[in-house]
Amino acid sequence: MPRLDSILTGLAGEGATGALRAGRSGTVYLTEGRVTFAESAHSPRLEDVLTASGRVSAAAVQRARRAASATGAPGAGNGDANGAGNGDANRAANGAATDANEDGARGRTSHRPPDGGGALIAQGVLTRGELEFCVLGLVLDAVYFLLAAAATRPRFVPGERHWLGPYWYFDVTGLLRECERRRARLNDVWPSAQLDTLPVSPVPRLPGQRVVLDALQWEVLVNADGTATPAELARRLGRPAYSVLMAVRRLAAAGLLMKPPPPRPAAGPERREPSAPEAERPAADQPAGKLPRRASAKGRPRPSGAVAPARAGAAGGGWPAVTGDPSDVSMLIRLRDALERML
């Protein structure tokens, strides 16, 4: 099965426009060979992010969406100027970035009907810059998880566009490189993926006197209820799933999260130990205290048949090892002296 990244690279080469649907995992939208939007089942949706901020109501998102579908195919026939390139000083950072506003500038000056994003901006609920950042974050986040998910065979639907419209253009190679960088970064912070998909559960007590948290780590800790996984927390908080994952790994590296129970096999030998022959136990107990041993020899009700082995144990392995240590020798001499005085 062709991998998602190779399909994307192919579509980019063709300068394709449309939606690449990877089954239930998500969708990547391309505009003339560049990625303009993406959504993944593992990362928060646009609606989640917009409404979680408290700035944009769900109704406003719905209105914008309706406005976009009412004006027909958004952005149709505005691709001509694209090849001109942007002559200003701005260069694309890491390829995954900018170029965005050759379209933005055009959108404002041309007669193009407003797309969903334009409707949101027109409603005054957020600025163009905020929407651009939002799309930037969402797409990088979604593509990161889409690439990781082994999806069903992706299906390309030519011409299909997202209702929001294009607000950021990602060069596909740059996008793939950025995802690779993010994967490496995550492993630098805490090289284990074992907490990535488990419910986030903070340790009840700090393993130290004080700790420094950043803003997102605070949000993660405050909202961790012992049942929500990092992906669920991300959706609830309206934060990028990758950022939440990063916060979780940082918390784990700082020892602030409960480790999952270790794998079972270790329990076997541990259980067998107590069930070892009864006779060995008294012998093992002996070195701890000498007086109790004496008491046990006389008065303690002992398990039948255990007497002889217990004594044997006391005589043999029960004593501390004899050494040539001078303190041992002087102790023996003092003991002998004391015994002689009693006579």
Partner 1 sequence: MPGVEDCLTELMDIPGVLDALVVDHATGTAVAVAGSGQHLDAERSAAALNEALRATLDGLAEAMTTGTLRMHDMIVTTDRGHHLLKPVTTVLDGEMVIYLRIDVERSNLALARHRLQAISARLTT
Q: Nearest distance from residue 64's CB to partner 1, in Å?
A: 14
Binding track, positions 271-300, relative to partner 1; x by CB under 8 A: ------------------------------
Of the two residues 136 and 307, which places its CB atom closer to partner 1 in the complex?
Answer: 136
Q: Is the dihedral of CA 28, 16, 113, 109 positive or negative?
A: positive
Question: By CB under 8 A, which span of 136-144, 265-273, 292-300, 314-322 interacts with partner 1?
Answer: 136-144
Q: Nearest distance from residue 290's CB to partner 1, in Å?
A: 51
Q: Are 199 and 226 in contact (CB under 8 A)?
A: yes
Nearest one of 141, 130, 151 to 235, comparing CA atoms: 141
* Three-state DSSP class for residue 241: helix
**How many residues belong to the chain?**
343
Q: Nearest distance from residue 179's CB to partner 1, in Å?
A: 10
Question: By CB under 8 A, which span of 53-61, 146-154, 192-200, 290-298 interacts with partner 1?
Answer: 53-61
Q: Which two tokens stand for residue 141?
A: 């986040």
Q: Which of 178, 231, 256, 257 binds partner 1 (CB under 8 A)?
A: 178
Can residue 140 be called a binding residue for partner 1 (CB under 8 A)? yes
Q: Nearest distance from residue 93's CB to partner 1, in Å?
A: 4
Can residue 134 be called a binding residue for partner 1 (CB under 8 A)? yes
Q: Pairing mode, if any, of strands 155-158 and 18-22? A: antiparallel
CA atoms of 60 and 43, how far apart (whole Å): 22
34: left (phi over 0), alpha (psi -120 to 50) or beta: beta
Can residue 104 be called a binding residue for partner 1 (CB under 8 A)? yes
CA atoms of 60 and 64, how far apart (whole Å): 6
Can residue 100 be called a binding residue for partner 1 (CB under 8 A)? yes
Can residue 130 be called a binding residue for partner 1 (CB under 8 A)? yes
Q: Nearest distance from residue 70's CB to partner 1, in Å?
A: 23
Question: By CB under 8 A, which span of 73-81, 211-219, 227-235, 318-326 interacts with partner 1?
Answer: 211-219
Question: By CB under 8 A, which span of 51-59, 258-266, 282-290, 315-323 interacts with partner 1?
Answer: 51-59
Number of residues that bind partner 1 (CB under 8 A): 47
| DSSP single-letter state for residue 324 | -
Q: Which of 26, 74, 116, 137 binds partner 1 (CB under 8 A)?
A: 137
Of the two residues 30 and 96, which places its CB atom closer to partner 1 in the complex?
Answer: 96
Q: Which of 133, 149, 160, 285 binds partner 1 (CB under 8 A)?
A: 133
Of the two residues 91 and 290, which places its CB atom closer to partner 1 in the complex?
Answer: 91
Q: Is the dihedral of CA 91, 93, 99, 100 positive or negative?
A: negative
Q: Nearest distance from residue 154's CB to partner 1, in Å?
A: 24
Q: Which of 182, 236, 281, 311 binds partner 1 (CB under 8 A)?
A: 182
Q: Which residues contact 227 (CB under 8 A, 6 or more apart)?
A: 199
* Three-state DSSP class for residue 40: strand
Q: Are 67 and 119 in contact (CB under 8 A)?
A: yes
Q: Nearest distance from residue 202's CB to partner 1, in Å?
A: 19
CA atoms of 309 and 173, how far apart (whole Å): 76
Buried b or exposed e, range 144-153, using 16+ CB within 10 angstroms: bbbbebebee
Q: Pairing mode, if any, of strands 18-22 and 26-31? A: antiparallel
Nearest one of 194, 199, 201 to 228, comparing CA atoms: 199
Look-up of token digits 């309206």: 238
Give residues in contact with partner 1 (CB under 8 A).
49-50, 53-55, 88-94, 96-98, 100-101, 104-105, 121, 126-130, 132-134, 136-137, 140, 177-178, 181-182, 185, 210, 212, 214-216, 238-240, 242-243, 246
